[in-house]
């Protein structure tokens, strides 16, 4: 049994033998060289920056420390946004809405931001959504 995972950079081919062992092989796309990789990395930086920017008004804010913790905790270009504040997880899942600094804040602010701004973020990164 085998299956393929297609990515812009190449294909991951995974095979499972009858004995249960799994092997994976990465096959790079011929046209995905340094120039294409640089475009991909630049687009990821744009997506990360835009997500942080659009999430700011939706993020609960009393002093601004949690928003600053996202700016400091996130390495732009990795595709991973990190809120370093210890209480961020609780706020993300349990906020009942509103805060002194951001009355439109709510729980699950990334999901809310994504629903509202995914098209704008994709355009900024030069990606066409289907």
Q: What is the pTM of this model?
A: 0.73
> Mind listing the pLDDT tens digit for each residue in 75-108?
999 999 999 999 999 999 999 888 888 898 989 9
What pLDDT sits at residue 1?
65
Phi-psi label, residue 82: left if phi above 0, alpha if psi -120 to 50, beta otherwise:
beta
């Amino acid at each position: 049994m085998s299956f393929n995972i297609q990515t812009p950079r190449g294909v991951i081919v995974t095979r499972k033998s009858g004995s249960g062992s799994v092997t994976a092989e990465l096959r790079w796309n011929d046209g995905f060289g340094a120039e294409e990789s640089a475009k991909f990395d630049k687009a990821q930086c744009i997506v990360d920056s835009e997500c942080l920017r659009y999430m700011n008004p939706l993020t609960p804010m009393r002093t601004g420390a949690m928003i600053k913790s996202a700016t400091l905790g996130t390495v732009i270009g990795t595709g991973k946004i990190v809120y370093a504040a210890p209480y961020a997880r609780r706020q993300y899942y349990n906020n009942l809405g509103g805060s002194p600094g951001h009355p439109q804040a709510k729980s699950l602010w990334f999901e809310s931001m994504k629903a509202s701004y995914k098209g704008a973020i994709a355009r900024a990164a030069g990606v066409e959504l289907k």
